[in-house]
Structures are given as structure tokens and as C-alpha cells.
Structure 1
Amino acid sequence: MQKHIAIERPRLLLLPEMPFDRWLAADRNISKELKMESIERHRDWMNELEKLEADYIVYSTPEYIGDKFLNTAYVYSKRDGHQRLHSKAYFPEEPHFWEESCFDRPDPVVFDTFLLDGFCIGVLLCTELWFTNNARKYGEQGIDLLLCPRATGKESVEQWLNCGSTSAIISGSYCLSSNRSGNGAEGFQWGGTGWIAAPINGSLLATSSKNNKFVSITVDLEKSRLAKKEYPLYVKSNGF
């Protein structure tokens, strides 16, 4: 990854969901001690993350806020440091993804946009991408990029690609995702396959693979902004 970033010098780098430790939700019952260890491992990696030559780096990390154990997205820049974006609110509860048991919901649940230097982002963490009303609301707020850090398996890759394309259409923005890859606990296979999908038609502009783990492209933000005037974004929701 460092070599790719050194060559491409991207303005924005998107990392997978909680990338700096094993996947906590593989176990249904996680002790507070293990949760704290995962928080510390993510903190330990911050020094390495901060060395990367990207203007903005979006990632998620486990954290305690009060007594709530959260999965929270952050954006890092050398100018502004680490800024909190959004804590995950929708969780699966099934083998290898015992997130309902592992994490707490933020209170209140918010899906705020975030303005960077000349462009606006919204974040949906993994499962949240399937709640398409949030993608539409982000579009109505004028985001340019919809970012989806995720942790999903090999068997569901096609479903997620379809969801990413649809979300790009619904939000009228470029939809980007980064996923875990390789083997997880008990032989579970992560799906990899990050993507960049275009607004208006949802076409896949780039996908990562086992042989091409990192992809970068230049996007035209004006296309994202013009998409807000196209169907289905121009249709008023009237508060429903």
C-alpha cells in the first residue's frame, strides 16, 4: 500500500472497517479486556497511518465513548489531525458477524456530511449501505463521495457490488468502498473487492482484486454535482 500511495499520491485514501486488528465480532462474547486491546492496537497503528502521503485518510476504529463501545469512522489529515465522522448504528447478528452483541449504538444516531478541502463526503459503515434512505439523504445534502469501509465475506461480493452501484445512483455521488481481504477466524474468507462506482448510472469505474489490491482513479466532482439535478435525486421526498 505504501508503494502505491507513494506513486499515486491520492487526495483521499479509504481503508476497510476497523483494519488494524483481528475482526472482533467473529466471537459472540467479547470481553472488555479484548475490546480495550483492539482499541490500543488501532492506536498503535496511528503513527504509521500518519506517515502515509495522502491528503485525507478515512478509516474506522473501535472506541469507548462513556460506557458505549462504538465502531466509529474518522478522517485524518496532517493539517487537522483525526476528526470523528460517524459511529455505526446498524448491526448484523449472525455467525462471524455478532456485531449486535459486540457494539453499542450511538445516541443520538446521526448521518452528518463532512466538508473537506473542496469536496463533501458522507460515510456509511458496511451494513449501513443497505439502508438506502441514508444514501438518498446524503445526496440531498450534496455529498460528492459516499464512503463505505466494510468487512464482508467472499460469498457476498456480487451482492455488495450491486449495492455499491445502486447507492451511487441513489445518492447521486461517487460510491467508494474498501474491504478486508485474506483469511479470518476459523478459515473465514474475506471478500476483498473494493470499488469506485459512478453517479447517475452506477457503473463500476474500478475494483480491487487479489492481484490488484489497491486502485486509484481521478474523478470529476462536477459529475457528482450535476447528478443531483438528475433522476432520481430531483424527485422531492417531501419529508417521507
Structure 2
Amino acid sequence: MLKTGLIQQSNTSNIEDNIQRLEKSIRELAGKGAQLIVLQELHNSLYFCQTEDTETFDLAETIPGPSTDRFGKLAAELGVVLVTSLFEKRAPGLYHNTAVVLESDGTVVGIYRKMHIPDDPAYYEKFYFTPGDLDFNPIDTSVGRLGVLVCWDQWFPEAARLMALRGADLLIYPTAIGWESTDSPEEKARQKDAWTISQRGHAVANGLPVISVNRVGFEADPSGMTKGIQFWGNSFVAGPQGEIVTEAPTDSERNLIIDIDLERSEKVRRIWPFFRDRRIDAYQGLTKRFLD
């Protein structure tokens, strides 16, 4: 069993306070025996992509840098593996949305740069982030091979499949997603259900556990062009048959801890042998943008 912690947090403009609360939650989960702890997308700050502002690039940092040093020291002190999510400054004018995995000795054991970058009202990520160039490669750690992806990646079955084909033990999605206040209750329900269903589908199709950690709470749009985002929380873990094994509320902060049975994937793949029956001779069209 892999004892795993999830931190669903509501952030403010006070970055130091956000980080201190994360540290407190990490200590709490480690004290309960967590070996792996997953944080939400861009967890240090507000979700700044609601507007396009060149001054916001000042939030970015190098990897290694201040956050990897700070969280790395905490990981080493507590003996836990941390999945963090940072605004990376790779070079002048070159920035990424980057997940960083810190080993239990505090070292950076691997990074993943978000591959799929959205550009929608209130989610203007293409302004800030260059698409990743590290492919879909699991990160080897002392607790297993982590198939780390980020938010918008969770809608693409190809990303999950490639992580699984490369031997990931589980799929992990740090996330920042929520509702625009003018959407109807029915539309809000459809959106959240689709988000959950798509990731549970990745679990089923690949016979792997899925961890999804979303932020929660309201964040205003600084430009006033929209009515801001109500992040819907609902962080969860699904088992390799898509079953929900733990789930956070939609309207409040929550630290979850759960035992994930990594050995169950082998048992599930034996009864549902999707990898055996894949028609790898017939999928060439998947590399095309569209088939006429």
C-alpha cells in the first residue's frame, strides 16, 4: 500500500501565507504516515492566468530555485515524496507550467512541463506558458513510477496512455479548474461531471490509479472582464477500475490521506486485458491533426 496525501487549498494574494499553510498541511499528512503528498496546480499563488499581464512573469522562478529549495528541505526533514507545481522561468522570455517531484531526501528527482496549454476566457495560459518539451515520461521515485501530468492534460487520453505504456504506476494531475459564475447550475454540473468522468476513464483504460488535486475557493478576475472563478475542489483518487476511493468537498479546503494499492493494477489488467487487445497496427491516424 502507498499511503498518499492530497492537499486541496484555497489561496490568496499572500504568497508567503499560502506556502506556510501548505507546509502545515504537509507536516500534518506526513505525521499521519503519508509517503507521497500531491499539491494542486500553481499552488504558491493565486491562479494568475485570468488576465494577460507582463508583470506577472515576475512570479516565475528557476528550477532549482527558491521553492524547490524550501519544499526540498521539508521533504527531506519529513522523509516524504512531494509533487509540486511551479511557474518555471527556464530562460529570459521562456516560461513553463512545471510539475516538480522532490524525493524523500529533498532532491529534485524529475520534472514534467505541461504539454497541453489552454487558451480560454479566464484561462489565458498560452500567454504565459510554452508547451512542454519533455514528452510523457514517468518519474522514478522511491515510492514508484509517477505519471505526472498537469490540469488540461487530463482531458487527453493520449497523454495518460503514453504514461501507462512507459510503465507509470499511477497517474497524477495537479489541477486548477472551476466555474464561471454566469453558468447555469445544470452547466456547472455537466462540467464537473465531465472532468471527473474523463479522469476515471483514464484509470479504467489504463488499469491505473488516478490522483487529481484541484484548488478550491473563489478567485476574482483582476481585470473585471469576467466574474472570476469558483474553483470546484472535488479532489479525488480513483482506483484502476475507475472507482472513487476518496473525494474532497467542492466548497472547502481539505487534506485527504488514502492507502493506494499499487498491486491491484496487475490484477485488473489480467481481467481487463486492454493492453493485450490494442490494435497497434491500426492507430497511425492518431498522429494527424484531422482525418479527411
Shift of 1:120: 1.3
User: Aligned equivalents of 2:257 and 2:198: distance in 1?
Assistant: 20
Shift of 1:105: 1.5
Unaligned runs of 5+ in 2: 1-24, 180-187, 222-227, 284-292
DSSP-derived class of the 2:86 partner = strand
Match of 1:105 in 2: 131
Shift of 1:50: 3.6
Match of 1:65 in 2: 90
Corresponding position: 1:9 with 2:33: yes
| Segment drifting more, 17-26 vs 42-51 | 42-51
- From 245, 259, 264, the equivalent of 1:223 is 264
Corresponding position: 1:166 with 2:201: yes
Question: Which of the pair has more CA radius of gyration?
Answer: 2
The answer to which structure has the higher strand fraction is: 2
The C-alpha deviation readout for 1:26-56, integer Å capped at 9, x for no partner, is: 11x221x42123438x935852574253511
Unaligned runs of 5+ in 1: none
Shift of 1:188: 1.9
2:72 and 2:107 in contact (8 A); partners too: no
User: Aligned equivalents of 1:170 and 1:220: distance in 2?
Assistant: 17
- AA in 1 matched with 2:198: C
Match of 1:236 in 2: 278
Corresponding position: 1:204 with 2:235: no
Match of 1:37 in 2: 59
What CA RMSD, in Å, does the superposition of the two structures yield over aligned residues?
Answer: 2.3
TM-score under structure 2 length normalisation: 0.73
- From 156, 167, 176, the equivalent of 1:151 is 176
Q: Where does 1:77-116 land on structure 2 (aligned, <5 Å)?
A: 77-106=103-132, 108-116=133-141
1:10 and 1:54 in contact (8 A); partners too: no
DSSP-derived class of the 2:217 partner = coil
Higher relative contact order structure (alpha carbons within 8 Å, sequence separation ≥ 6): 2
Percent of residue pairs bearing the same amino acid type = 22
1:138 and 1:171 in contact (8 A); partners too: no
User: Aligned equivalents of 1:140 and 1:36: distance in 2?
Assistant: 37
TM-score under structure 1 length normalisation: 0.87
User: Aligned equivalents of 1:122 and 1:61: distance in 2?
Assistant: 17
> Residues 25 and 224 from structure 1, CA distance in 2 versus in 1: closer, same or farther, beyond 3 angstroms?
same
